[in-house]
């Protein structure tokens, strides 16, 4: 038996491009599953013992996970592997939904839970709700909200945005919603689904998330910063604002143009080499860019992932920068 080659499950979009360019979502490539049969018992046992295959779910085997992925990518890959196994085993009519659908659509996620979500049209039987890694939702799912991706049944991008906005925390939901709009979700359809969901759990929060969602967001980090600012009651910043400097036109991640206060989110990955070039050269260009923005009258706050663990401190920095402006 030839064992399938593991595939990279998620591609991070570039972070050094002009906002609005190349908004196509990076959809995952699912690994090929090997099903158990009695004839293959000994063969599967040999491949499992040698590490060529892993048993992911009863009767379903996959190639081992990539060893060099980071924590977030590793979690995404783990959930995608569980989804592949669920698709091999589930016999009822279903659609992958919520964060599972978000992964299939190529949306960003943040603090992704190690759970597979499916939506079905009927309530599951008692034995079907005992799997801690499989969350079954049941509801009326209009044909408008059903589609197929990579050969799997999945809720549409618009329905996925609403489901995540209803079920996730504000920051997590905005990360999905921003990337959903970037990927081409139709705002009119999203609004229609919200109206049809009136009175159901989580709809009020979902409306807040959808109202704040913006296709100009460039990264999950920017989305989280915007939610922190929104949650603190501060005015909403403009994502991807173009400004003129002595070096030419530059784009600010988040900005309040009337105050000339900006936030630049540094995800650190762009300084790590690889596809993003020499780290020292990138740092030098960032310094020149920062100096040019300051000379143009801007107060620029640099924010990194570690800052998101203390939202109150970040809000204080923003308030202080605003207070010092005329």
For residues 212 and 204, what is the distance between their CA atoms, to the nearest angstrom? 13
What are the residue ranges spanned by the domains of the chain? 67-217, 225-323
The string of pLDDT tens digits covering residues 230-240 is: 999 999 999 99
Q: Does residue 270 contact residue 278 with C-beta atoms inside 8 Å?
A: no
So what's the pLDDT on residue 268? 56
Token pair in block for residue 128: 């079907």
225-323 CATH: 3.40.960.10
So what's the pLDDT on residue 300? 95
So what's the pLDDT on residue 194? 97
Give pTM, 2 decimals.
Answer: 0.83
Strands of the chain, DSSP E: 34-35, 54-57, 60-62, 95-96, 116-120, 134-138, 146-149, 152-155, 238-245, 248-256, 261-266, 299-304
10-residue stretch averages of pLDDT, the chain, 326 residues long: 36 38 64 79 82 81 77 88 90 95 96 95 73 89 96 97 97 98 97 94 95 95 97 96 91 95 79 49 77 91 95 97 88
For residues 200 and 196, what is the distance between their CA atoms, to the nearest angstrom? 9
For residues 312 and 304, what is the distance between their CA atoms, to the nearest angstrom? 15
Torsion of CA 48, 51, 57, 61, to 10 degrees: -70
The string of pLDDT tens digits covering residues 273-319 is: 444 445 566 676 788 888 899 899 999 999 999 999 999 999 999 99
Q: Does residue 16 contact residue 270 with C-beta atoms inside 8 Å?
A: yes
DSSP result, 161-229? HHHHHHHS-HHHHHHHHHHHHHTT--HHHHHHHHHHTTTSTTHHHHHHHHHH--TT--SHHHHHHHHHH
Q: Does residue 136 contact residue 128 with C-beta atoms inside 8 Å?
A: yes
Token pair in block for residue 206: 């979902």
């Amino acid at each position: 038996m030839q064992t399938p080659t593991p595939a990279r499950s998620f591609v991070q979009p570039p972070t050094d491009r002009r906002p609005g360019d190349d908004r196509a979502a990076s959809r995952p490539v699912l690994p090929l599953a090997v099903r158990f049969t009695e004839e293959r018992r000994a063969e599967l046992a040999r491949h499992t013992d040698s590490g060529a295959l892993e048993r992911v779910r009863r009767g379903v085997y996959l190639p081992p996970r990539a060893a060099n992925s980071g924590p977030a990518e590793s979690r995404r890959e783990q959930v995608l592997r569980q989804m592949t196994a669920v698709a091999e085993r589930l016999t009822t009519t279903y659609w992958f939904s919520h964060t599972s659908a978000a992964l299939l659509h190529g949306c960003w996620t943040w603090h992704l839970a190690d759970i597979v979500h499916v939506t079905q049209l009927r309530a599951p039987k008692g034995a079907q709700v005992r799997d801690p890694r499989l969350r079954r939702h049941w509801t009326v799912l209009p044909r408008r909200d059903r589609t197929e991706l990579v050969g799997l049944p999945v809720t549409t991008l618009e329905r996925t945005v609403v489901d995540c906005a209803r079920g996730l925390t504000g920051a997590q939901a905005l990360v999905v919603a921003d990337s959903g709009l970037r990927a081409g979700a139709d705002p009119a359809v999203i609004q229609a689904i919200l109206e049809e969901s009136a009175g159901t759990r989580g709809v009020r929060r979902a409306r807040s998330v959808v109202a704040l969602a913006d296709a100009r967001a460039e990264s999950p980090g920017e989305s989280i910063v915007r939610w922190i600012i929104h949650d603190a009651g501060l005015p909403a910043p403009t994502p991807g604002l173009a400004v003129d400097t002595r070096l030419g036109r530059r784009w600010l991640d988040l900005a309040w143009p009337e105050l000339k206060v900006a936030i630049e989110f540094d995800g650190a990955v762009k300084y790590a080499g690889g596809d993003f070039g020499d780290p020292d050269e990138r740092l030098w260009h960032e310094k020149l860019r920062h100096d040019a923005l300051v000379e143009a009258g801007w107060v620029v706050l640099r924010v990194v992932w570690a800052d998101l663990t203390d939202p109150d401190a970040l809000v204080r920095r923003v308030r202080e920068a605003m207070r010092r402006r005329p």
